[in-house]
Chains A and B, each alone.
Chain A
Amino acid sequence: MFSLPPLLEEDIQCMESALDELLQKSEATTALIIDKGGPLITQRGTLNAFDTTTMAALTAGSFAASEAIAGLVGESYFSSVYQQGERQSLWIGNVGSNLLVIVIFKASLGVGVVKYFAVQTTQRIAAQIKKARSRTDENLDLVSLNLLDSSELFKKKA
């Protein structure tokens, strides 16, 4: 499995624009892009109603579990997972080997609309990641960080 390449401004802009378009067309509430390991990459839409960091970690775990279940029934993976609620529902779509798109929408909207528009979104994001991966100067120059600062990065309360 490839790891996610370093992301530049243009990568994030592309992802955000793809999510904005998805939200506008589908009328979903919130959309996130997360790494399959759990970290949140970017988010758009209504954000103050959710703890999106925790949501990213839990969704990554949930999707990973669904992939393991897919293996048990002879599938290599499930391309998407739908979680239906009474007021809010959630759709998780696979983007290549590293990322997931999470879309939160009112349950009354129906998952079909979200899925329909999300296909284009996931394709756009996958294409941008491919582009990011093809860059040669892919490592961030962290030489300027002062290592002495990191020895006591976390301090215990007195």
Chain B
Amino acid sequence: MAIINQATKELQVKIVYYGPGRGGKTTNLEQLHSNVQNVQEKGKLVSLATSSDRTLFFDFLPIEAMSIKGFKTKFQLYTVPGQVIYNTTRQLVLRGVDGIVFVADSQYDKMAENVESFANLEENMKALKLNLGDIPYVLQYNKRDLPNVAPVEYMDFLLNNRDVQVPSFPACATRCEGVFDTLNMITRLLLHKFINEGTRKVA
């Protein structure tokens, strides 16, 4: 859960990019690292990857946002390894998560993998005694530039078919399209959550 340090006026938030293998999670972080501006501090992008550039443990990118009304907000962005065999690792990376970006692959033949990965996310959250309904998350439909993509409505039907629909964003992470919209929405949802909880407590 978020770290609130009133001594240093800091809020530290952990966002995890989840989704099927080769869906574009690492590319999201790479694009953010290359293209972000107006941040106070941007750390190094650390990738624990195999020799063939598949994520082995996680990628990590720390970004410190401009201070909001005197509060520094530090976002720690992680990816999980998408390959099915690394499930234990995904559970480890999810520890202490505050918000999730689910990066789905828009290609028709990847729909089964998307659904399986989302179900795996729900299972892993349960294993950590967390409920996906209590954690802000957004969906990103990546690779919209490819020819064989499923319509957004169909992907919403498969992945966003719940009582409360979450925001979803079409994206082409390799061209940095939709990457910032996705991050800004999850940060907005997270700050809303903290403010609402704080308000409830004060009231």
A: which residues have CB within 8 A of B?
1, 3-4, 6-9, 11-13, 35-39, 41, 51, 53-54, 57-58, 60-61, 64-65, 68, 137-147, 149-158
Contact = CB atoms under 8 A, between A and B. Distances in A.
B66 to A, nearest CB: 8
B1, B3, B4, B188 pick with most chain A CB within 10 angstroms:
B3
Contact of B5 (A3, A41, A138): A41
B69, B128, B176 pick with most chain A CB within 10 angstroms:
B69
Interface string B16-57: 000000000000000010011111000110101000000001
A65 B81 CA distance: 14
Interface of B: 1, 3-8, 11-12, 14, 32, 35-39, 43-44, 46, 48, 57-58, 60, 62-63, 65-66, 68-69, 71, 73-74, 76, 78, 88-89, 92-93, 95-97, 128-129, 176, 179-180, 183-184, 187-188, 191-192, 194-195, 197-199, 201-202
A141 B95 contact: no
18 contacts: A3-B96, A6-B4, A7-B3, A7-B6, A9-B6, A37-B96, A38-B76, A38-B96, A57-B76, A61-B93, A137-B201, A140-B198, A141-B202, A142-B71, A149-B69, A153-B66, A153-B73, A155-B37
B152 to A, nearest CB: 22
Given A154-B187, A156-B37, A57 B7 contact: no
A142 B193 CA distance: 10
A57 B6 contact: no
Nearest to A6: B4
Nearest to A15: B7
A1 to B, nearest CB: 7
A53 B197 contact: no
Contact of B3 (A35, A58, A152, A153): A35
B1, B11, B63, B78 pick with most chain A CB within 10 angstroms:
B1
Contact of A144 (B12, B69, B89): B69
Given A39-B74, A143-B202, A150-B191, A155 B36 contact: yes
A60 B96 CA distance: 11
Given A35-B96, A68-B88, A154-B180, A53 B62 contact: yes
Given A39-B74, A54-B43, A153-B65, A12 B8 contact: yes
Nearest to A3: B1
Contacts of B176: 156
A111 to B, nearest CB: 25
Contact of A61 (B1, B57, B71): B57
A50 to B, nearest CB: 12
A12 B5 CA distance: 8
B32, B68, B93, B197 pick with most chain A CB within 10 angstroms:
B68
A147 B7 contact: no
B3 A41 contact: yes
A1 B63 CA distance: 27
Given A3-B1, A68-B92, A54 B7 contact: no
